[in-house]
Amino acid sequence: MNKTTQIAVQANPGMGVASSMGTGRLWRSAKQAGQLAERGMATAEYAVGILAAVALALVLIKIFNAATFLDIATKLVGSIFDKILGWLPK
């Protein structure tokens, strides 16, 4: 190791040093290399999240467009209004 490499290692103890053809080269530690390799995973995770959101939206659209859902929702809203109006003084 030459003097410059020794100073670089002392300043950055988390960094590893590899020697190639007599010159010292500063390399990232295994932990930092692993973190860099996982940076692309965020894109894949976003893609999976988007696909899940689209699938959920399609299922909800299918449910909301069904005639039985409309009947149930109408009855539910009507019964809520009936109860609220029943509580009001006449």
Map out the domains of the chain as residue ranges. Answer: 3-37, 41-87
Taking only the tens place, the pLDDT of each residue in 15-65 is 554 544 444 445 557 666 666 666 666 788 889 999 999 999 999 999 889
What the block records as the tokens of 73 is 């929702």
Whole-model pTM above 0.85? no
Place of tokens 């069904």: 66
User: Do the Cβ atoms of 51 and 43 come closer than 8 Å?
Assistant: no
User: Could you tell me how many residues make up the chain?
Assistant: 90
Give the pLDDT of residue 20. Answer: 47
- Write phi, then psi, for 26 (nearest 5 degrees): -90, 125
